[in-house]
Amino acid sequence: MADSVQHPEMEAEVVIVGGGPAGLACALHLARLYAAQGRSAENILLLEKGRALGAHQLSGAVMDPRGLRALEPEFASDPELGAIPVEDDALFLLSPDHALRSPVTPPPLHNHGNYVVSLNRLAQWLGAKVEAAGVSVFPATAGRELLWENDKLIGVRTDDKGVGRDGRPKSNFEPGYDLFAPVVVLAEGPRGSLTKQLLARCALGGANPQVYSLGVKEVWELPANRFPAGRVYHTLGWPIPPELYGGGWIYGLGGNRVSLGLMTALEYADPATDPHNLFQQFKTHPWMRALLAGGELVRFGAKTTPMGGWYALPPLAGNHWLLLGDAAGFVNSQRLKGIHLALESGRLAAEAIFAGALARYPESVRASWMHEELWPVRNFHQGFEHGLFAGLANAALQMATGGRGLHERYPSVPGHERMRTITTLGDPPPRLTPDGALTFDKVTDVYHSGTRHEEDQPSHLLIADTDICNRRCTFEYGNPCQNFCPAHVYEMVFDEHGAKQLHLNPSNCVHCKTCDIADPYQIITWVPPEGGGGPSYDGM
Amino acid sequence: MKILVCLKQVPAKDAPLKLNQAATWIREDVSFETNEPDAFALEAALRLKEAHGGEVVALTLGPARAAQVLREALAKGADRAIHLDAGEAAAGAPPLDAFAIAEAVSRAIAGESYDLILTGLQSDDAGYGQTGVILAELLGAPHATIIMQVEPAGERRIKVKRELESGNFQFVEMPTPAVLTIQSGINKLRYATLMGIKQAKNKPLARMTLEEIGASAGLNRQLVHRLFVPSKSKGTTLISGSAKEQAAALVAHLRNDAHVI
């Protein structure tokens, strides 16, 4: 069908793919630079695949104000944003039965001066300013394909609308637009689908491969005065196995609500590892159980985070393109923060676009506090490849040597390569059966993510060869897709001959990208479903 | 034809709902979207305009966020829009009922002459199914409900198809101006195009407040005292015994407890 369709065209000055903090900061700053010259911002186009700005924005989140302050110095006093100053922070070490409060909070987890925010709300708040500045914002519109002229990126094709499950156009079919622009900004978040196309086509990457963690989050409403607004707790240890990187969080959001979640590195050996189930176990810790008693689940979400740090950054600019925020990999994995870096990358990108010199963007990143912050922790995440204790020892060593540790660059491998076949492993890790009150199955949680997709559309999870799933993977890895997907998209069902067969529930997808990342055969390609589909992360 | 489409912004279908403290309404910390039957009313209006010419005006009543349904209607092809801004309701204040909404709309459009007023047959949130009908009464216009098809039938007349029970339909010819309440699923909703979204910014969107037209919740004829979340009571009973005993027990259960046979 794709060949016979006429795509309407639109010329633009800049196309920004993704309405998260990076894309919005870029759009806002660029529109303001334009305004100072009396130029209209209407040919700055911003695409957002969620049904509205903010719909797919999920984070913990504790935000370092540095990035936002550069754009909006008075953000802290705006009740529309509702940023809550961190009042109190602590680190807890969990064993299965005990929670030990660390006598000192390690400096990277000091959060005084930072703010508890909802990333969903931040995106809506920034988005309103971006729209008011005259940028053309297109919600419910995904970037589906990059448009090239030889090695020069010339634009983005948006998603076709109204294509049926059989791939045929329905009566309300609307072809995607070809948006042509001299600058394409990819700010798609972690493992962006266009970013993946771009890096593959240009054979680009960082010195180290990018690695990811999956964060599974719930918002709970607790009895009054249980957990104050602005309190920030982090946890290490149980139920994350000691050989794996990860940890939990609980943040006081105000209004008797808390954000709680667990990060699990997608770098595990045992294919039975289930980050959603680990998060459910986390809530059954006696300390957590007491905290949550009498409370109620309000929202759910899941999202990956790039953890590879400075050495995993691909080139940030190329032939008419720029990479921003999580799409590039700007996360400080030691401080577990990236929003400030995403915002600043957007601002610096806007400066370079405005100057008509894209190559200035990577230079200005290197000259900025982003580099100053990320360079000393360039080896932090790699230090955890042999687990928590080795990682903490490495972290101490790196702190003493300005980030270098024993040698300049600690290498790493893509997380999926660490997965081992089931025959080489002992018993799978314990699983918890949800009770429906404190702990929930994936389907119940997905309901609380507000996820919805047009049902009559082709699957947006492209599996290169399902024979590998049904034959090889079943025996080699036991179909880990069922475990790593936090939204029950992947299911193995028995066919009429009693053989296991992969069944997909694409409508459940919360767009976390875990499958694209963690699949040991790398045969799953996540592409955006029809624009407007996906979660609705209100207040997340 | 000059067509007014009344659209309501309602909580998104998949939004996890919670009651407010007084249990008189839901907490509004959810996403909102265009009421589904209203979206079909808009689609019907746009198709009438495309086939027979005229103008489509979109109208909504709600707080600032409700203007989103108008922006979407403009992006899909409505010519202009009217936002009856209800302001931010004070916590615990009752939402307007069907009568108050119809009264407000009738006052807002006084002085304009529409050939057709279309709206969804009911809202997905309050579900009164009354607003369109009361609006017709207030305007002194005829109305028809649960409409599946509309076509012009000569000078100032239309022919409509109504859905009745058990797969039956009724075809009615009626004079215009008229108010029609539209059934969901009667057509295939269009998508807003990027060009449509861009052009919508330059279309007129008039705003008037409820005070300006003298409307308020004081017009309500109905008061919601309390909402309840239905309690889930799913139970599984295992019937034991021989096949014959099981069948007898099952029949007794269906007859005496479930009351289905």
- Whether residue A536 and residue B189 make contact (CB cut-off 8 A), yes or no, is no
Least confident interval from A35-39, A57-61, B253-257:
B253-257
Distance from CA of B18 to the nearest CA of A (A): 8
Three-state helix/strand/coil letters over chain B: CEEEEEECEEECCCCCCCECCCCCCECCCCCEEECHHHHHHHHHHHHHHHHHCCEEEEEEEECHHHHHHHHHHHHHCCCEEEEEECCCCCCCCCCCCHHHHHHHHHHHCCCCCCCEEEEECCCCCCCCCCHHHHHHHHHCCCEEEEEEEEEECCCCEEEEEEECCCCCEEEEEEECCEEEEECCCCCCCCCCCHHHHHHHCCCCEEEEECHHHCCCHHHCCCCCCCCCCCCCCCCCCCCCCCHHHHHHHHHHHHHHCCCCC
pLDDT at B224: 86
Domain covering A423-428+442-526, topology? Alpha-Beta Plaits (3.30.70)
Q: How far apart are CA A415 and CA A122, in angstroms?
A: 31
A171: how many CB neighbours lie within 10 A of its CB? 9
A269 closest CA partner among A430, A102, A421, A371: A421
Portion of chain A with pLDDT greater than 90, in percent:
87
Residue of A nearest to B13 (CA): A450
pLDDT of B14 strictly over 90? no
Inter-residue contact B27 to B11 (CB < 8 Å): no
- Whether residue A174 and residue B191 make contact (CB cut-off 8 A), yes or no, is yes
What one-character-per-residue DSSP string does A373-389 give?
HHGGGTTTTGGGGG-HH
pLDDT of A6 strictly over 90? yes
Residue A451 touches partner B, C-beta closer than 8 Å: yes
ipTM value of the model? Answer: 0.89
Strands B80-85 and A178-180: unpaired
- Whether residue A141 and residue B194 make contact (CB cut-off 8 A), yes or no, is yes
- Whether residue A447 and residue B33 make contact (CB cut-off 8 A), yes or no, is no
Residue A299 touches partner B, C-beta closer than 8 Å: yes
- Whether residue A136 and residue B197 make contact (CB cut-off 8 A), yes or no, is yes
The residues facing A172 across adjacent strands are none
- Whether residue A450 and residue B18 make contact (CB cut-off 8 A), yes or no, is no
- What architecture is domain A85-116+211-305? 2-Layer Sandwich (3.30)
Contacts of A74 (CB under 8 A, 6+ apart): none
Distance from CA of B13 to the nearest CA of A (A): 8
B120 closest CA partner among B73, B80, B168, B173: B73
pLDDT at A283: 98
Q: What are phi and psi of A29, to 5 degrees?
A: -65, -40
pLDDT at A408: 80
pLDDT of A482 strictly over 80? yes
Q: How far apart are CA B35 and CA B182, in angstroms?
A: 12
Question: To 5 degrees, how large is the angle CA A36–CA A41–CA A45?
Answer: 145
Q: How many pairs of residues across A and B have Cβ atoms under 8 Å apart?
A: 60
pLDDT tens string A314-371: 999 999 999 999 999 999 999 999 999 999 999 999 999 999 999 999 999 999 999 9
Inter-residue contact A144 to A176 (CB < 8 Å): yes
Residue of B nearest to A132 (CA): B201
Distance from CA of A229 to the nearest CA of B (A): 18
Q: How far apart are CA B116 and CA B69, in angstroms?
A: 20
Distance from CA of B219 to the nearest CA of A (A): 31
Residue of A nearest to B194 (CA): A138
- Whether residue A52 and residue B30 make contact (CB cut-off 8 A), yes or no, is no
Q: What are phi and psi of A178, to 5 degrees?
A: -95, 110
Inter-residue contact A535 to A301 (CB < 8 Å): yes
| Class level of CATH domain A9-60+123-206+313-377 | alpha beta
pLDDT band at B90 (very low <50, low <70, confident <90, very high): low
Measure CB to CB from residue B14 to each of A158, A298, A452 and give the nearest one. A452
Q: How far apart are CA B199 and CA B203, in angstroms?
A: 7
pLDDT at B218: 86
pLDDT at B91: 62
Q: Judged by CB atoms within 8 Å, which residues 162-191 of B form the interface with A?
A: 188-191
Chain A residue numbers with beta carbons less than 8 Å from the beta carbon of B64 are: none
Domain covering B2-219, topology? Rossmann fold (3.40.50)
Which residue of B191, B197, B198, B205 to mutate against A (max A Cβ within 10 Å)?
A: B191
pLDDT band at A444 (very low <50, low <70, confident <90, very high): very high
A367: how many CB neighbours lie within 10 A of its CB? 12
pLDDT tens string A37-53: 999 999 999 999 999 99
pLDDT of A3 strictly over 60? no
Q: Judged by CB atoms within 8 Å, which residues 28-47 of B form the interface with A?
A: 29-31, 33
Inter-residue contact B131 to B149 (CB < 8 Å): no
Beta strands in A324-382 (DSSP E): none
- Whether residue A447 and residue B18 make contact (CB cut-off 8 A), yes or no, is no
Q: Judged by CB atoms within 8 Å, which residues 201-220 of B form the interface with A?
A: 201
Residue with tokens 């880990």: A480
Distance from CA of A42 to the nearest CA of B (A): 8
pLDDT of B257 strictly over 60? yes
- Whether residue A174 and residue B190 make contact (CB cut-off 8 A), yes or no, is yes
Q: How far apart are CA A73 and CA A499, in angstroms?
A: 61
- Whether residue B68 and residue A52 make contact (CB cut-off 8 A), yes or no, is yes
Residue ranges matching CATH 3.40.50.620 in chain B: 2-219
pLDDT tens string A77-91: 999 999 999 999 999
pLDDT tens string B143-172: 999 999 999 999 999 999 999 988 999 999
What six digits make up the tokens of A369? Answer: 């506090």
Portion of chain B with pLDDT greater than 90, in percent:
74
What six digits make up the tokens of B102? Answer: 């119809």
pLDDT tens string A111-163: 999 999 999 999 999 999 999 999 999 999 999 999 999 999 999 999 999 99
- Whether residue A536 and residue B18 make contact (CB cut-off 8 A), yes or no, is no
**For chain A, what is the mean pLDDT?**
95
pLDDT of B111 strictly over 80? yes
Across the range A470-488, mean pLDDT stands at: 96
Residue A77 touches partner B, C-beta closer than 8 Å: no
What six digits make up the tokens of A167? Answer: 């791939």
Residue of B nearest to A163 (CA): B191
Query: Which of the 8 DSSP states describes residue A76?
Result: G
Chain B residue numbers with beta carbons less than 8 Å from the beta carbon of A539 are: 29
Chain A residue numbers with beta carbons less than 8 Å from the beta carbon of B13 are: 452
pLDDT at B87: 86
pLDDT tens string B20-62: 888 888 888 888 999 999 999 999 999 999 999 999 999 999 9
pLDDT of A398 strictly over 90? no
Beta strands in A296-398 (DSSP E): 296-306, 317-318, 321-323
Distance from CA of A540 to the nearest CA of B (A): 11
Residue A452 touches partner B, C-beta closer than 8 Å: yes
Residue A13 touches partner B, C-beta closer than 8 Å: no
